[in-house]
Structure 1
Amino acid sequence: MDVTITNSVLVRPARDTSSEEIWLSNADLILTKCYACTTYIYRSIEEPDIFTDSNIEDLGDFSSVSKLSSLAITVDCTQSITSLPLLLYQVTKFRCGGVAIGVAINHIIADGMSSLHFVNTWCDLAHGLDVMVHPYLDRTLLQARNRPETFFPHLDCAYLFQHSLKRFRLTKEQLNCLKEKARENSSKEAFTTFIALSAHIWKCACISGNLLKQQETKLYIPINGRERVHPVLPCGYFANFGQGKPLFMGVQKNAPEGYCFIKPNSEDDGSLIIEMTLRSDRMDRFRKLLYQF
């Protein structure tokens, strides 16, 4: 999809901001040169900055990452961290009147929950509404007494192969079938959709990688821990750890191999969208295994 950039603007604060340094927790320092990139697609909007001759319908079911790549923001993360912008956004208008908004938030200042908090608050302000929850920026609540250090290489974080991002859809009927299959093979009466689907994705990823039966694997699940720590973090804790409802919302940047995002389908039909990043030579087998219950 070809787009034409018609305008680029640097947005500065309306008034001077505080120059006080903000302490970063270990969780913030994990992703020092990375952006949380998402794209929101709507039916109509006015006065965009970037134009394309395509229609929303040309994107199909939004499963093609290559078609959506021109709607996302690319950031050169080889620069010094002090020169990297905190936030970038790109507005693209379609010939049919629809619009796509690509958002990239520096991951060192916001995780997924905080990013959505920012976007939702941005939409409220654009509609003339008040800020529902103000961001809480004091991160010393997670400050450790003794900051740990590691002195050995983490080989599990070394990515040596080309990987790609693919989207898959599981209908409500398929999810119910998966949960029923899990119940048949266990003494437990029922499983939640998240547990059944997470286990199935993990199993498919392991099989597609031709792992040995005795080979150990690790499943890492980020959670919203704001209400799980003691004391509980305040509402609006901002860190890591518009036009009505979007027609589409999804990740627009390849995450490291093995990253998986599960989100509800925008049609509210009970189906779920799986965004999976795997080695490119394993993706086809993963897709086949995913739909085998």
Structure 2
Amino acid sequence: MAPIIIRNTYTVVPAEPTWTGRFPLAEWDQVGTITHVPTVYFYDKPSDSFQGNVVEALKNSLSRALFHFYPLAGRLRWLPRNRLELDCNAAGVTLIEAESEAELTDFNSFLGTKEFEKIVPQVNYKTPIETIPLFLAQVTKFKCGRISLSVKVSHAVVDGQSALHFLSEWGRIARGEPLKTIPFLDRKILWAGEPLPPFASSPQYEGQEFEEPPLLIGEMDCEEERKKETVVAMLKLSKTQLEKLRSRVNTSECADPARGFTRYETVTGHVWRCACKARGHSPEQPTGLVICVDVRSRMQPPLPRGYFGNATLDVVATSTSGELISNELGFAAGKISKAIKNVTNEYVMTGIEYLKNHEDLKEFQDMHTLGRKEGPFYGNPNLGLVSWLTLPMYGLDFGWGQEVYMGPGTNDLDGNSLLLPYKNDDGSLILATCQQVGHMEAFKKHFYEDI
């Protein structure tokens, strides 16, 4: 594969003056993954009239989009007790222009390669956090005329729903259209306010998302597992295969006849069981599954349309490998369903109060890419599976047509997985999963044979 060559790096600021000042982040902004999350789009060759103007079109429309979404143009800074604050200073975002002599004909063979990683903007977390842009984009032109647009968005500022809201509005602005949904920027709805004085009593909170993830039996930490090489696979689950799984799970003794199990609960239960088998666990091995729950519609009242921030939280379903494998699929799906149902308005608000009064948030922050050993790790014997099934992922058009491929960027954390709808909207799903090299082939085998 021909090398990726960086031609220019631009700082893009809001097109007009915006509000500046200290912008408090909500408690849920500051826990879980607080680094940048990558997404990649590939496009066929733009028309000749557009070819030379791709970068300028992106720069100009991005500048205008930032006027409406100005928090993304700011910078984070650390506060005492390992809390983060957003400084809305209009410092801007980064847009990188790159090119390659490669003929990009097969996306699948390109995914996961060293060169693929180079089409994604790199973030140097060793520099002070006050200097790191919250949004980075890289447009790479290939010799064949195709282009890629890869973006990285700070998860301390937005979740997937809000990130895709921004991207879709950026595309609308580039096409000369008005905003579809104005972002709702006030986070006080999910903000507990000032912390209590030291030594003040904290509410009792037995939140699942703050449990320590299980370790392999006999191990004191997860360091050895973290050192093992991983590989990413994109596994398609056809509509027929999905229906077969759902038929099986919804006729099980564990199913609720009035509701049944959702696509997510069904497939995630299947993935959990397959991972336990592929990893060769002993029956008594504890295992945790991290589930990301969107609370927008679970709050009372529901969050305003266009809420721009983090409105997701992680909950953990736990079991043993023996229980998961020896019982029918409905057992695993039931564990997942129960964990999700626990996320009510009261649950969310109690969690906010718990975090507000906690002395140090570092233990709840996933800092793997910042070089720290602290923070939750969801590799073997655990995994995490995030659903993108209801997100407006596809159809990002900047004026030269919709993407021909969209998917997650680089991901090298064992057990981290995403569930995406198939682009053709034929009822199929895509599982993007990262597993240890030594486990991947066995995982694939169980993933398809156990259907």
Query: Partners in 1 of 2:110 and 2:262 — Cα distance?
Result: 27
Residue 37 (structure 1) aligned with residue 38 (structure 2): yes
Q: 1:57 deviation in Å? A: 1.3
Measured at CA, do residues 214 and 153 of structure 1 come closer, stay the same or move farther in structure 2, by a change above 3 Å? closer
Task: Give unmatched runs, 5+ long, in structure 2.
Answer: 56-96, 197-201, 216-220, 313-397
Residue 281 (structure 1) aligned with residue 438 (structure 2): yes
Per-residue CA distance 1:204-242 (angstroms, 9 max, x = gap): 122222233233322222122112112321111111122
Please list, as runs of the form range in 1=range in 2, the aligned pairs for 1:128-139 lying within 5 A after superposition.
128-139=176-187
Paired letter, 1:95: K
Contact 1:22-1:139 within 8 A present in 2 as well:
no
CA RMSD of aligned residues (A): 2.8
1:209 equivalent among 276, 279, 297:
279
Measured at CA, do residues 95 and 250 of structure 1 come closer, stay the same or move farther in structure 2, by a change above 3 Å? same
Q: 1:111 deviation in Å? A: 0.7
**What's the secondary structure of 2:304's corresponding residue?**
coil
Provide the residue aligned with 1:180 in structure 2: 247
Per-residue CA distance 1:53-72 (angstroms, 9 max, x = gap): 22331324765454532221
**Pairs aligned (count):** 292
Please list, as runs of the form range in 1=range in 2, the aligned pairs for 1:88-167 lying within 5 A after superposition.
88-144=136-192, 154=212, 160=223, 161=226, 162=228, 163-167=230-234
2:123 equivalent among 57, 72, 75:
75
Q: 1:155 deviation in Å? A: 5.9
Q: 1:244 deviation in Å? A: 3.4
**What's the secondary structure of 2:106's corresponding residue?**
helix
Provide the residue aligned with 2:18 in structure 1: 17
Q: 1:10 deviation in Å? A: 1.3
Query: Partners in 2 of 1:39 and 1:76 — Cα distance?
Result: 19
Contact 2:214-2:286 within 8 A present in 1 as well:
no
Query: Partners in 2 of 1:108 and 1:272 — Cα distance?
Result: 28
**What's the secondary structure of 1:260's corresponding residue?**
strand
Per-residue CA distance 1:86-123 (angstroms, 9 max, x = gap): 11111111222221101111111111111100100000
Paired letter, 1:289: H
2:426 equivalent among 252, 262, 269:
269
Measured at CA, do residues 68 and 271 of structure 1 come closer, stay the same or move farther in structure 2, by a change above 3 Å? farther
Query: Partners in 2 of 1:282 and 1:231 — Cα distance?
Result: 44
Residue 169 (structure 1) aligned with residue 236 (structure 2): yes
Please list, as runs of the form range in 1=range in 2, the aligned pairs for 1:238-249 lying within 5 A after superposition.
238-240=308-310, 241=312, 242=398, 243-249=400-406
Task: Give unmatched runs, 5+ long, in structure 1.
Answer: none
Q: Percent identity of the aligned residues?
A: 29
Provide the residue aligned with 2:417 in structure 1: 260
Q: 1:168 deviation in Å? A: 1.3
Contact 1:134-1:236 within 8 A present in 2 as well:
yes
Query: Partners in 1 of 2:192 and 2:132 — Cα distance?
Result: 27
Measured at CA, do residues 184 and 67 of structure 1 come closer, stay the same or move farther in structure 2, by a change above 3 Å? farther
Provide the residue aligned with 2:62 in structure 1: none
RCO comparison, higher one (Cα < 8 Å, 6+): 1
Measured at CA, do residues 280 and 27 of structure 1 come closer, stay the same or move farther in structure 2, by a change above 3 Å? farther
Query: Partners in 2 of 1:61 and 1:179 — Cα distance?
Result: 31
Q: 1:180 deviation in Å? A: 3.3
Provide the residue aligned with 1:27 in structure 2: 28
**What's the secondary structure of 1:144's corresponding residue?**
coil
Per-residue CA distance 1:143-165 (angstroms, 9 max, x = gap): 23767699x99466975323343
**Which structure's residues are more often strand, by fraction?**
2
Paired letter, 2:101: D
Contact 1:259-1:276 within 8 A present in 2 as well:
yes
